[in-house]
Amino acid sequence: MKHNFGAGPGILPHEVLKQAAAAVVDFGGIGLSILEISHRSPEFESVLDEAVKLVKELFNVPEGYSVLFLQGGASTQFALAPYNLLPDGGKAAYLETGVWANKALKEAKFFGEVEVVATSKDKNFTYIPKDYTIPTDAAYFHITSNNTIYGTQLQEFPKSPIPVVCDMSSDIFSRKVNVADFGLIYAGAQKNMGPAGVTLVIVKDSILGKTGRKIPAMFNYQVQIEGGSMYNTPPVFAIYVSMLTLNWLKSKGGVAAIEKENIAKARVLYEEIDRNPFFKPVCEVEDRSHMNVCFVMENPDLEKAFLKLCDDKDIIGIKGHRSVGGFRASIYNALPITSVYVLIDAMQEFAEKNKV
C-alpha cells in the first residue's frame, strides 16, 4: 500500500477510484464509458445535478448563491474574480500569504488598483498576518484560506465590511465554513474534491453584474450560471469523480465529521515534529495548516537519507516544494490516519538509527 502525502493532485478515496474505474468501461450499465457520453445526455445531467446538490448540502449553501463547475483551474479564477467583480478604475484588497495569493493579486492589477492590506512575505510566509484594516472603498477582499507551499492556514476568517473572495483550493470541504460570510469561493478540485480538470465556484448572485464592463461569455459568471455550468462542454469525467468524492464525504458524516479526523491527523503529526530532535516545524503554531504539514530537518544533510527511508516504506510525496525545500506532508481528507502513523513511525525509526 502506498501512503500518498502528495500536495496535488492529491489522494482520492479508494472506493471512489473503484467506482470511477468501472464507469470508464461502462457507466451505469448503459454500455458506454463515462468518457464518451454526451454532456447533454440525461445520464450526465443527473451527475451534474447531484454534484451541485451535494455541494449545497455539505456546505449548507444559502439561497442566493450559485454553484458552478468550471475549467481552467483556480489560477483562471485569479483573473475571473476581478474580471467579474472589480469595476474599471476600482480597487480590490488582497491579503498576501504566499505564492498563490501573490499570483492572484498580480492578475487583479490588470483590472484595477490593488491594495495589499497585509503580507507575511517578511518571514517567508511562515505566519498569517493578523492586524490589518480592510478598506471599505474596495470592491472585495481576497484571501487564500490555506497555503500549500508554506503550510499556513487561516484558522479564523476575517469579518469584512466588503465581499470576501476566497481561494479554498487546498482545504475545500476539510472544515466547516459559513458560506454566507463570503461573496465568492473558488477551489481547484485536485486536493480534496476530485481530479484535476474542474474548479468549483460558489458565488453570491447579488454581487455580479456591477463592473460596467462587457465580459466574454466564457469568462462571465452570469453566463455560466444561466448555462448551468454547460455554456460549453464541461469536464465530464472530473465532475463525475468529484460527485463520487462528495458522496463519499457525505457517507462519512459530512464536513463536520471529516474536520474532526483532519484535526486528529494534524495534531499527532505536529506532536511528533515538535518532539523529535531530528525535525523542526517552520510555521507559527497558531497558523499551522491542518492540510499541509511543512517541516525541515535540524541537519539538512540528512534529508536525502530520510527521503530514502520514506521511499522504502512506500511513503510518497513528502518532499517539500522546490521553492522552500524540507518536507511537506499533505494530509487531505482521503488520507487515513493510519498513513500518518506510518510516517510518524518512519520519523521515529530514523531518529533512533541516527542518534549519536
Catalytic residues: 100, 167, 191
Distance CA 24, CA 4 (A): 23
CA distances, 40 to each of 25, 48, 174, 220 (Å): 20, 10, 31, 21
Residue ranges in the chain assigned as alpha helix (H)? 14-25, 42-58, 73-85, 99-108, 221-226, 236-251, 254-275, 303-312, 337-354
Distance CA 17, CA 61 (A): 27
Q: 68: how many CB neighbours lie within 10 A of its CB?
A: 21
Report DSSP letters for 205-270, one per residue. Answer: GGGSS-S-S---GGG-HHHHHHTTT-SS---HHHHHHHHHHHHHHHHTTHHHHHHHHHHHHHHHHH
Distance CA 95, CA 104 (A): 10
The dihedral of CA 7, 179, 177, 12: what is its sign? negative
Q: Which amino acid is at 14?
A: H
Q: Nine-digit cell at 55?
A: 455541494
CA 312, chain centre distance (Å): 29
Residue 9 is given by DSSP the state S
Q: What are phi and psi of 137, to 5 degrees?
A: -95, 10
